[in-house]
A and B are shown apart, each in its own frame.
Chain A
Amino acid sequence: MDKKERFIAAIKENEGFIYKIAAVYTNNTEDKNDLVQEIIYQLWKSLDSFNQQSSLNTWMYRVALNVAIFQLKVSKKSISIIPIDEQITNYQEKDDSDNDERWKIFREQIDTLNLLDKGIVLLYLDNKSYEEIAAIVGITKTNVATKLSRIKEKIKTKIHKNL
């Protein structure tokens, strides 16, 4: 299996997370599609600098989150990228209204968090262990635990307030 084939296999394995990251860090479908492409492009471009000190998955999560931040900086200028083939971005949109409602509530909660907490929560929701979160984010395991506990409390209080 050559480098490109290995990369494609890794992308396919993690595409769910890439799409979810793009969905959380953007506010519309066009930006989401741009971010998915940008993450995949940057992952491919950075693949040679992957030093195997962490697992490929951990590295991919880290790059994906970093690209999302980088994209925020660029999107402030409201520049759209060159249009690409419809088939690449025209993926299945959700038409389940119940899911949409749940996603809306989810976004409301997530968007109240700062960028650091947001990254930690997304990894936690993706079932990453505290060790993995610490490795991706670059803080200690204890710090991850403390922050998660604080975030859980914050979300709980906020939801109770809204009820």
Chain B
Amino acid sequence: MELDDLKSTWQNEGNTATQNNLTTLMINNMTQEKYNSKIKKIRLPEIIGSSICVIAAGFIALNFNRLDTIVLQGIGVASIIILLIISVLSVLILQRLNLKIDLNKPYAETLKIFATQRLAFYKLQKVNIILCYLLLVTIIVLLPKLFGNKDITEYKYFWLSTFTTGYIVLFFLSKFVSKYYRKTLQQSEELLKELA
């Protein structure tokens, strides 16, 4: 079997497809706005995540006076910065996802844009994961002070288990992300090389 032998399968698939016989009404319905709803649905989780980060940063800022040592204040500032960066990254990821492609462009050009966007998207995701690792440390240190002004050593076993669980979850999440993205990244890079 060679490529030309696959032609008959392809033609046959076309014959089956034309039997579907799209009617004027069906085509008419497909041109309506209601079918363009995917992107709108994607926005919601990204917006919620971003809002949570901004709210958390605001909460730390409002309770900053509870952080009574220079170290805690430094960690507080770092947490606010990390939360804001995560929030901005989420918006950037969303923007990349929503970026409209000019459909009139040749296929190769669209592929180039697609592969470039995909690489940038996954790099942003990677940065997000690293920041989450850092945030886990800073938040765990700050939480006892922010909720009840307690010293972290008073509930050391609770915080130790929280810290460990958080890291285990993040470890598996980052493992999953890197495994899932590795192939995609490789494919995107190869595609860009070929299109260069």
CB distance from B74 to the nearest CB of A (A): 37
**Inter-chain CB contacts under 8 Å: number:** 182
Q: Is A77 within 8 A of B20, CB to CB? A: no
A137 touches B7 (CB 8 A): no
The answer, yes or no, to whether B169 is at the interface (CB within 8 Å) is: no
Measured as residues with beta carbon below 8 angstroms from the partner, the interface class of chain B is 35 or more
Bound together, the chains give a CA A69 to CA B38 distance in angstroms of 15
* Binary flags per residue of B1-15, CB closer than 8 Å to A gives 1, else 0: 111101111111111
Residues from chain A with a CB closer than 8 A to the CB of B191 are 114-116
- Chain B, Cβ-Cβ closest to A42: B103
A40 touches B31 (CB 8 A): yes
A121 near B3 (CB under 8 angstroms)? Answer: yes
Bound Cα distance from A137 to B106, whole angstroms: 5
Could you write out 29 A-B pairs with CB less than 8 Å apart? A4-B31, A7-B27, A8-B28, A15-B17, A19-B14, A20-B14, A40-B30, A46-B104, A62-B105, A62-B106, A66-B103, A67-B103, A73-B114, A77-B42, A79-B38, A87-B26, A92-B19, A106-B6, A106-B10, A114-B190, A116-B107, A116-B108, A116-B111, A138-B105, A139-B106, A148-B3, A152-B2, A152-B3, A155-B6
Q: Residues of A with Cβ closer than 8 Å to B?
A: 4, 7-8, 11-12, 15-20, 23, 36-38, 40-42, 44-46, 49-51, 59, 62-63, 65-67, 69-70, 72-74, 77, 79, 81-82, 84-85, 87-88, 91-92, 94, 99, 102-103, 105-106, 109-110, 114-116, 119, 121-122, 124-127, 135-139, 148, 151-152, 155-156, 159
